[in-house]
Amino acid sequence: MNVRELMQVAPVIPVLVIDDIAAAKPLAEALVKGGLRVLEITLRTPVALDAIKAMTEIDGAIVGVGTALDGDDLKRAQDHGAEFAVSPGFTAELGKAAQDLSMPLLPGVATSADIMRARDGGCTEVKFFPAAQSGGPTMLKALGGPFTETKFCPTGGINATSAKDYLALSNVLCVGGSWVAPRSMVEAGDWDGITKLASECLTLK
């Protein structure tokens, strides 16, 4: 799948921070069962790469790496089975590394200049980050004027309530969020509860 196709699988891409490798598979199973197949695993913990590898074994899961900062992050994640990458920003070097690896990249942007740099690198699908702090739906609606071809996945400070405001915009294909897998529910092993939260996301758009 290319980036746009990935963004159209479901209205929400769960942004996951995995602390315990034992939770990786059941978490992926719970989310996929609820209808959220595209999963972003952030490179913020020592077990992140192993979690990516474990989650790729779950039928139906499309697993990618988040918080990718450079080509080395992309390569290591790809070697562990990641099918796409999400980054907090964009650089020409990161864009080239993604192209060299044939790895779909969803780079982060916060300003018009960021969007233009990403477009120069061939990216017309971007992550608007941090969304809530960067102007929210109002800013995204304004950006839709000059950037008619750009499609967004706002991420950062989004919950089930605010997600609807973003998804109502024509230039937003999906949102990224962590509310579908709260740390407390993951630690408690409440997989049925997470499946319920995931399934509720399908009604947001």
Tens digits of residue pLDDT in 99-148: 999 999 999 999 999 999 999 999 999 999 999 999 999 999 999 999 99
Q: What is the mean pLDDT of the chain?
A: 98
**3-199: what fold?**
TIM Barrel (3.20.20)
Closest alpha carbon to 49 in 80, 17, 15, 18: 80
Position 205 pLDDT exceeds 90: no
Kindly report the pTM of this predicted structure: 0.97
Handedness of CA 10, 18, 47, 58 (dihedral sign): negative
Task: Provide the CB-side half-sphere exposure for 145 (13 A, CA).
Answer: 6
Q: Which pLDDT score, from 0 to 100, does residue 162 have?
A: 97
Mean pLDDT of the 32-42 span? 98
Helix/strand/coil (H/E/C) assignment for every residue in 101-141: CCCCEEEEECCHHHHHHHHHCCCCEEEECCCHHHCHHHHHH
Q: Which amino acid would we find at residue 80?
A: H
Mean pLDDT of the 81-97 span? 98
Position 150 pLDDT exceeds 90: yes
Q: Which pLDDT score, from 0 to 100, does residue 149 have?
A: 96
Task: Provide the CB-side half-sphere exposure for 74 (13 A, CA).
Answer: 22
CB 166 within 8 A of CB 158: yes
Q: Which residues are identified as catalytic?
A: 40, 127
**pLDDT tens digits along 160-197:** 999 999 999 999 999 999 999 999 999 999 999 999 99
Residue 202 CB neighbours (<10 A): 13
| Cα-based distances in Å from 121 to 73, 96, 125 | 18, 8, 11
Residue 43 in tokens: 């490179």
> Which percentage of the chain shows pLDDT scores above 70?
100
CB 70 within 8 A of CB 93: yes
